[in-house]
Amino acid sequence: MERLAPQDLMLLWSDDFGWPEVIGALAILDGARLLDSDGRFRTETVRKVVGSRLSQVPRFRQLLHTPRRGLGRPLWVDASVFDLTEHVRVLPFAAPPDEAGLLQAVEHVRALPLDRSRPLWEMWFLPGLTGDRVAVFIKVHHTIADGAAGVALLGAFLDPSADTPTTHARPWTPAPVPSNRDLFEDNLRGHARATEGTLSKLRRPATTLHQARNNWPAVRENYFKGRAPQMSFNIPVGPHRRLALVRSRLDDVKQIAHSHEVKLNDVLMAATAGGLRELLLSRGESVEDLVLRAFVPVSLHQEQPGKARGNRSGMMFVPLPIGESDPVRRLRLIAAASARQKHYVVGPPEGILGRNRLIQRTMMRGLGHQRWANLYVGNIFGPPIPLYLAGARITEIFPVVPITGNFTLAIAALSYAEQFNIGVVVDANACPDVEVLANGVRNHLHAFDTSRHHAEAG
């Protein structure tokens, strides 16, 4: 039985608070091979390709089963009936065939709730872009995967060339749902293991105290050392989003990082800080001496690249000196702070936090007014080579991450082939001026690149 882990369970409960935990990716395809001679999208061709790969992603034919009280946490079970047409869908968007119209269409399908009576994923094809381009938006519930695992899931449907032959879908027979007796016995074993773990710690108080002391610095650094300032955009997340895209070249970002002796993630956070500075200045808000805090996920996956599964991530909070006007000095301050904070990464909930539902739900409820951080900034490593979906080359791909609590701004980068593309997701009420933020990020990436060229010329 595959029960939801504590981290997964908190992601599931987030839906109950009006913060859908859906991770997504927006890809642009060279769609010439996906359109017939009349320009119509070849829906069945695409479904055949996707269906042939489902055996590599068992979770895509499973749904969440919530047992009655006393039978334990929710678990994954095979869907008794699976209809691919409910998951691979087509929506030719009627808006103007430009990026603004595309993002409106993406937000429309993103906002459609995933039906918990079905496997929690959808793949929406959006034909209608100029030049025979076709967009595809893939949405997956966060309980299935985090960023690294999401890339691995997506990889199951992609090919290294346009001419990879399509295989027939393997026969599939769903396994029966466990009986109430099996669930009860499994839950009993789980409680027994948890009790034994607690007793083991009580029998070894010195070891337990040593572990607590080792963990305390990270807890203190992240949760008790300072608070994030209250900002105009830190309000409870509502139902509507606005999206923006920022394009950059991976080699340029690597060169910036190399020339300043920092990491790629530092460049992303510094560009984000620059974008926030421009956003706040455009609103007439003071940025003098302002330091915001970024929630930064840290992958704890031990699998080989492209093999990650489920959710396994920690977190750290990194200060962003918005008040620093010099982009290069801001970059170096963030790099130094990030290097320090990596010693204080907090892992997934464990122990009583991982088992007690009341504590977990209380923590989730408090997210709407938390003061640990102001925004989310994440970096996901994607495929290093160009890939194809149903014979169509993916020309671009952008991450679309969820926003939760009062984290109304989220910026995530995804490397793909020679690209380092950034998806900006904001609450529509908290940040209707999302393009100011996105342009600020672009401007500061360019500023770092310009300073690099000047330094090389000097």
Distance CA(122)–CA(139), nearest Å, equals 5
Q: Which CATH number fits domain 229-457: 1.20.120.1780, 2.60.120.10, 1.10.357.10, 3.30.559.30?
A: 3.30.559.30
pLDDT in the model for residue 450: 65
Distance CA(443)–CA(438), nearest Å, equals 9
What are the distances in angstroms from CA 282 to CA 17, 278, 320?
32, 6, 18
Closest by CA position to 60, among listed 171, 133, 166, 139: 139
CB atoms within 10 A of CB 418: 12
- Does residue 452 have a pLDDT over 60? no
Using an 8 Å Cβ cutoff, are 105 and 84 in contact? no
Closest by CA position to 268, among listed 331, 177, 174: 331
- The DSSP annotation for 182-246 comes to HHHHHHHHHHHHHHHHHHHHHH-HHHHHHHHHHHHHHHIIIIIS--PPP-TT-S---S-EEEEEE
Long-range contacts made by residues 248-252, C-beta under 8 angstroms, separation at least 24? 248/419, 248/420, 248/421, 248/422, 248/442, 248/445, 249/418, 249/419, 249/420, 250/415, 250/417, 250/418, 250/419, 250/420, 251/418, 252/420, 252/445, 252/449
Sign of the C-alpha dihedral computed for residues 152, 157, 161 and 164 taken in this order: positive
pLDDT in the model for residue 350: 63
* Arithmetic mean of pLDDT, 102-113: 95
Domain ranges of the chain: 229-457
What's the pTM value of the predicted model, to 2 decimals?
Answer: 0.91
Confidence band for 48, pLDDT divided at 50, 70 and 90? very high
CA dihedral 422, 425, 428, 430 (to 10 degrees): -100
Closest by CA position to 328, among listed 185, 444, 233: 444
Confidence band for 272, pLDDT divided at 50, 70 and 90? very high
pLDDT in the model for residue 8: 87
Structure tokens at 220: 């203190």
What are the distances in angstroms from CA 144 to CA 148, 314, 356, 376?
11, 17, 21, 20
Distance CA(80)–CA(177), nearest Å, equals 9
Using an 8 Å Cβ cutoff, are 405 and 370 in contact? yes
Using an 8 Å Cβ cutoff, are 228 and 378 in contact? no
Confidence band for 13, pLDDT divided at 50, 70 and 90? confident
pLDDT higher at 86 or 359? 86
CB atoms within 10 A of CB 442: 19
Percentage, residues of the chain above pLDDT 90: 68
Sign of the C-alpha dihedral computed for residues 356, 358, 359 and 361 taken in this order: positive
CA dihedral 68, 20, 414, 425 (to 10 degrees): -170
Distance CA(144)–CA(64), nearest Å, equals 10
Confidence band for 165, pLDDT divided at 50, 70 and 90? confident
Closest by CA position to 456, among listed 274, 252, 271: 252
Give the tens place of pLDDT for each residue, 166-224. 788 888 999 999 999 999 999 999 888 877 877 777 777 777 676 667 777 677 777 77
* Arithmetic mean of pLDDT, 101-124: 95
Sign of the C-alpha dihedral computed for residues 173, 179, 182 and 186 taken in this order: positive
Confidence band for 242, pLDDT divided at 50, 70 and 90? very high
Using an 8 Å Cβ cutoff, are 28 and 395 in contact? yes
